Amino acid sequence: MIPDTQLHHSDSSFLSFEDFRNIDEHWNIYWRASIFLIMIWYSELKEQKKLIDKTIKALLNLEVDLYENIQKTDNEGTVDYKLSRYACYLMAMNWDSKIRQVAQAQNYFAEQTLKIDLLSQDPDRLSIRNEISDGNKSLAKTIARHGVFDYSRFNIAWYEWMYNMTNEELAQRRNINKEKLLDYMGRTELAANLFRVTQTEERIKSQDIKWQADLENAHRQVGKEVRSFVQINTGDTPENLKPEMPLNEMKKELKDAKKALI
């Protein structure tokens, strides 16, 4: 365990990050998750596991070698993880910057990578976007079994009620290719669309809805309900949510940050 005075003695305490690195038999540098998580003020096991799982998911979505960055290991009879510098970086990005120690960690890595703007990016966006793709495939199979013959009309239906406009109109409003709308959405908007996809499928199954017109109507109704949720919780309508850095660019810059850190 790190002495408490070393971890929290001043606002510059995170500069001790380098002091707690380890080197394995192959001369690879790593940090123990149990130590790093305490440094960024996460001592509860439940919260630690949550952050490690998010970091693993981020690495998988970035198509970065998992074994090179996170390895499960034993630490005096308890489960621990060996983290690369890049895994620590993603872990810091994935957590709450309102906590002073997390903000210090983020600032440290910003200085290391010279990519301060990346700290406002959320790797979770990649994960949610992938879940939407999987959800759309599942929904497509369900509506095919229930009688949809015009997929285009079925898909347009939710745009008209969730966004009060067609996908083409939304694309024009945001000056984005209509095929790339999801890739520019922020975490909140992506999560709303994931909810729309999953709940449409659940409604179709639970109510055994069939045939084109009724299936389109179900999609519209769920879109309308999601629109209401977004308005209640964000204070704005979905079409007014701000687009963010496209996911392909964010993915590239996060990978570039890995090179910079190395």
Write out the H or E segment, with its range, that includes residue 58: helix 45-61
Give the pLDDT mean for 40-54: 79
**Which ranges of 175-246 does DSSP label H, i.e. alpha helix?**
187-207, 212-234
Q: Which pLDDT does position 7 carry in this prediction?
A: 37
Q: Which pLDDT does position 134 carry in this prediction?
A: 95
In the numeric block, which tokens belong to residue 32? 């123990």
For 111-167, write each residue's pLDDT tens digit.
Answer: 676 554 555 567 789 889 999 999 999 999 999 999 999 999 999 999 999 999 999
C-alpha dihedral (203, 205, 210, 212), degrees to nearest 10: 60
CB-based contacts of 14, cutoff 8 Å, min separation 6: 39, 101, 104, 105, 107, 108
Q: Which pLDDT does position 121 carry in this prediction?
A: 61
Q: Which pLDDT does position 97 carry in this prediction?
A: 65
Q: Which pLDDT does position 16 carry in this prediction?
A: 63
Sign of CA dihedral 45, 48, 54, 56: negative
Q: Which pLDDT does position 199 carry in this prediction?
A: 97
Cα of first residue to Cα of last residue in the chain, in angstroms, is 27
For 169-228, write each residue's pLDDT tens digit.
Answer: 999 999 999 999 999 999 999 999 999 999 999 999 999 999 999 999 999 999 999 999
Q: Which pLDDT does position 28 carry in this prediction?
A: 84
pTM of the complete model: 0.69
For 5-28, write each residue's pLDDT tens digit.
Answer: 333 333 444 446 777 888 888 788
Sign of CA dihedral 92, 96, 101, 105: positive
